[in-house]
Amino acid sequence: MFYHEDTLQYEVEVEEPDPQFAKMLQQAIGGAEGEMRVALQYMFQAFAVPREHEEYRTLLMETAVEELGHIEMLATAVTKNLEGAPEATREAAREDAVIDAMMSHGQPRQALSAGLHAMPVDSNGVPFTGNYVVASGNLAADLYANIMAESTGRLLATRLYEMTDDPGMEDMLSYMIARDTMHQNQWHAAVDSLGEHLPVPASFPQEKENQEYSYTFMSTFDEERPDPEMPWTRGETPDGNGEFDYGRQPGNGFADVEAMLEEMHNEVN
């Protein structure tokens, strides 16, 4: 059950409206690396965590709710970057510098479909999709998905930071980048708290996998090359269960292909 308060989690100011930056900010709202994704991802993951792991359920849901507040902050930032372009004065649109910039460099739909406000789309105008949400029902896999989400999320936020010199936007982004730092750290700490969990899912017994191929780096170069002696071709494997090796794709020979083909009977035209 959810509640809200009529204040932002952190101040959002814009000194100079910039429609092009408003378009960029959309990536952080509705994009693959954006806040709608993490808010919903952590929420659906939390829905799936059972009682005996309530500490993880709480961890996930509390962060989901924090991210809802980030959507709100970014939506405010988008509106403020499109200000100076109130609909009432749109008729004089082409003479107004902000409107003109909006028309040339902003997202058309932001004017046409949303009256110069935030939308659930990314910076290219592609709608948010449930496809972005990873909630696998396996906690270790989910936590790695979260590490990844906060890695690309902080990367996005730093790229946005470098594209503005508006003090208000820099301040908002310096807060969001800090939160991404925290979230990366908390998901790493949570993964560490699981103890031995590699390979994911740890619940599947490795005896059932074809262990002949479990720790061999498979080179696919056209001409065979010698072992490059990299950390992924020699030495103990991170899961602690084997030694890296170096080899080629096995290939199951023509015979099998023949057999395979013999069994198939399709029309051709």
Residues in 210-239 that interact with a copy of itself by CB under 8 A: 210-223, 228, 230-232, 235, 237-239
CA distances from 231 to 8, 75, 77, 217, 241 (A): 47, 44, 44, 11, 15
The answer to whether residue 61 forms part of the interface with a copy of itself (CB under 8 A) is: yes
**Residue 5: φ, ψ to 5°:** -140, 145
Backbone angles phi, psi at 134, to 5 degrees: -110, 115
How far apart, in whole angstroms, are the C-alpha atoms of residue 57 and residue 45? Answer: 8
> Is residue 201 a contact partner of residue 140, using CB atoms and an 8 Å limit?
yes
Within residues 172-201, the interface with a copy of itself by CB under 8 A covers 174-175, 177-182, 184-186, 188-190, 192-194, 197-201
- Say whether residue 169 binds a copy of itself (CB under 8 A): no
Residues 260 and 264: their CA atoms lie apart, in Å, by: 7
Q: How many C-alpha atoms does 42 have within 13 Å on its Cβ side?
A: 26
15 binds a copy of itself (CB under 8 A): no
Q: Which of 15, 97, 137, 227 touches a copy of itself (CB under 8 A)?
A: 137
* 168 interacts with a copy of itself by CB under 8 A: no
Instruction: Give the whole-angstrom CA distance, residue 56 versus residue 230.
Output: 36
Q: Which of 60, 81, 122, 169 binds a copy of itself (CB under 8 A)?
A: 122
* 69 or 98: CB nearest a copy of itself: 69
Q: Is 152 in the site for a copy of itself (CB under 8 A)?
A: yes
Interface positions, 69-108, toward a copy of itself (CB under 8 A) = 69, 71-72, 75-76, 79-80, 83, 86-88, 90-91, 93-94, 103-105, 107-108
